[in-house]
Amino acid sequence: MGKYSVAFLACNRTQNKYDQICECNPNSLLRTFYENDKIFVKDLPGMWRYYDWLPVEGIIDECKGRTISYKSEKLASYLGLSRLWIAFNGYWPERDAYMMTSTFKDLESFPTMQRVKEQNNDDIMVVASAGNTARAFAHVCSLTGQPLLLVVPEKSVHRLWTINESTDSIFLLSVDGDYTDAITLANKIAEMDGFINEGGAKNVARRDGMGTVMLDAVMESGELPEHYFQAVGSGTGGIAVWEASMRLIGDGRFGDKLPKLHLAQNMPCAPLYKLWSGNGDITSTCPNEMYDDVLFNRKPPFDITGGVRDALESTNGLIYPIENYQAQKGQHLFEELEGIDINPASAVAVASLIQAVKLGHVGSDETILLNITGGGKERLKRDMNLRPLEVSHSISVGEEDIEMKIIDKVSEVLRLKRQQGEL
C-alpha cells in the first residue's frame, strides 16, 4: 500500500489517499492506515519526527515546532496528582517549544499544505476559522508562498497575525457573521473551479497532525495515559488523539487500554456538551460572553461515523461544561504554577481537570495527560514582532451573488500578484 492508505469507516473501502468524501456514505470519516505499525522517532525537525504516522510523502523544512511533553510538578502537587503530564503546544524557548503561532493548529496546517504540494495543485486553499486555524495556515503559507483564502468572522480578525514579513499569497476575507457562517461561505467558494477546501474534520492530515500530541506524550512517558483532557470546539482534536491511541495500542509497547477522553466546552455556548448530555438547544448563535469563542462550533462532527460520539463511547468519555469564572481560575492557577502564559481555550481544559479532581473522576496516582492547546503568546511578544494580517475584503452574509463577487475579487488580487512575480 506504500507508506499509507486511507479507507472510509462506513464501508471499509480503500480510497484515493487524497479523497475526503466517502462515495458509499458521505456521513463518514476516512482513516489512515500506515505501513509501519510501530512508531519510532525520526531525525527530522519539529513534528516531522513522527513522519511514519503522518499522511505525507515529504516535509516542509521550515516547520520547527512540535508538542513538548513534560511531567508537571507544581500544578500536579497543587491538585494532589502524582502522574500528571502536560502536552504544551506553543512558544516556550526555555522548554524548546517553538510553535510560532502559539497554538497547536500548526500541527494541522503543515501536513495539510504538504499534501497540497504533493498533488501539484495550484488551486487556492480555502480555510474557514474563528482565529487560531487561520493564523496557523497563514503562518505556513507565508513561509511557502502557497495561495490561501481565509474566511474569518469579523470579530475574530484581531487574532490574525504572523511573525513573517511576506503575506502576499494570503487573501483575508472578513464576514459579519459567526464561525458557522464563515464555514458555510468557505464551503460554497471551495466548490468553485480554482479553489480547494481544506476539509475540516474530514482531512486526515489535520487529524493525524493533531494526533502527534499523543505520540509525543507517550514517547516521553513510555505509556498511554489513563486520562486525556482537552478543551474542544468541533471536537476534532479529541477524535485525533483517540485514533492515535488506537495506533499506539496496535504498536504493542505502550499499553492496551484507550485513554478516557475528558473534553471541555465553554458555557453558555457548548454544542457538544448539549448533544452528549441531551441538554439544551444547539442551534442558537453564540453570545459574546464566552471566555473563548474559538470553542464554539454550531455544527461539530458529532454523529458522523468515526466522529465525536464514537470517540466518547469508545473511551467511556466525558464532556465538561466550564463557566467563565472556572476558566479564569484555571488560567491564573496554571500560569502561576507552571510559569508560562496560556490561551483562554487552554484555561478551559485546566478548569475541566480541576473539576474532574473534585468530582473524583481521576485517581491521584493515575496517569493523566493535559493538552495545553495554545500558550506562550505573551512570551512570543517579547521576542518577536507580531504583524497583524490586513483584511483584503469585507462582506455581509446577506449580499446578493456573494460567492461570485468574492471569487472575482480574490482571482483579481492573486492574478495581479502573480503578474508582479510575488507568487
pLDDT at 403: 66
Per-residue confidence (pLDDT) for residue 296, from 0 to 100: 84
Percent of the chain with pLDDT over 70: 92
Query: What band does 414 get if pLDDT is binned at 50, 70 and 90?
Result: low
pLDDT level of residue 9 (50, 70, 90 thresholds): confident
What are the cell numbers at 291? 471566555
Question: In the numeric block, which cell numbers belong to residue 118?
Answer: 504533493
Task: Look at residue 279 and tell me whether its pLDDT is greater than 70.
Answer: yes
Coil vs helix vs strand at 71: strand
Distance between CA atoms of residues 146 and 170, nearest Å = 8
**Cell digits of residue 177:** 457573521
Which has the minimum average pLDDT: 85-94, 344-353, 401-410?
401-410
Three-state SS string across 242-256, please?
HHHHHHHHHHCCCCC
Report the range of poorest mean pLDDT among 16-20, 168-172, 302-306: 16-20
The residues facing 220 across adjacent strands are: none
Pinpoint the residues of the chain covered by CATH 3.40.50.1100: 68-103+206-381, 104-203+385-419
When computed from its CA atoms, the radius of gyration of the chain, rounded to whole angstroms, is 20
- The winner for highest mean pLDDT among 20-29, 290-299, 312-321 is 312-321
Q: Is the peptide bond before 300 cis (omega within 30 degrees of 0)?
A: no
Q: Give, in words, the CATH class of 68-103+206-381.
A: alpha beta
On average, the pLDDT of the chain sits at 91
Q: Could you give the CA distance from residue 92 to residue 102 in angstroms, rounded to a whole number?
A: 9
Q: What is the pLDDT of residue 100?
A: 96
User: 22-31, 160-169, 372-381: lowest mean pLDDT where?
Assistant: 22-31
How many Å apart are CA 149 and CA 156, to the nearest integer?
15
Answer yes or no: is pLDDT of 280 > 80. Answer: no
pLDDT of 97 higher than 70: yes
DSSP-assigned beta bridge partners for residue 274: none
Q: What distance lies between CA 185 and its chain's CA centroid?
A: 20
Rounded distance between C-alpha atoms, residue 53 and residue 248, angstroms: 10
Which triple of cell numbers denotes residue 167?
503575506
Most confident of the following: 24-38, 171-185, 243-257, 398-412: 243-257
- Check whether 10 has a pLDDT greater than 60: yes
pLDDT at 247: 98
Q: Calculate mean pLDDT across residues 168-176.
A: 91
Q: What is the rounded CA–CA span in Å between residue 132 and residue 138?
A: 10
**Encoded amino acid at 154, one letter:** E
pLDDT value of position 417:
53
Q: Greater confidence, 241 or 30? A: 241
112 and 198 Cβ atoms separated by less than 8 Å: yes
Residue range 150-170: mean pLDDT, rounded: 91
Q: Can you give the pLDDT at residue 105?
A: 96
pLDDT at 191: 85
- Alpha-carbon span 132 to 145, nearest angstrom: 19
Is 419 a residue whose pLDDT tops 60?
A: no
pLDDT (0 to 100) of residue 123: 85
33-40, long-range: CB < 8 A, 24+ apart = 33/1, 33/4, 33/5, 33/6, 33/7, 34/3, 34/4, 34/247, 35/1, 35/2, 35/3, 35/4, 37/247, 37/250, 37/251, 38/251, 38/252, 38/253, 39/215, 39/219, 39/247, 39/248, 39/251
Residues 114 and 107: beta-carbon distance below 8 Å: no
Q: How far is CA 27 from CA 55, 283, 301, 305, 317, in A?
A: 22, 20, 9, 6, 22
Using alpha carbons, select from 217, 230, 228, 225 the residue that is nearest to residue 257: 225
Is the pLDDT at 354 greater than 90? The verdict is: yes
104-203+385-419: in CATH 3.40.50.1100:
yes
Closest CA to 263 of 311, 326, 298: 311
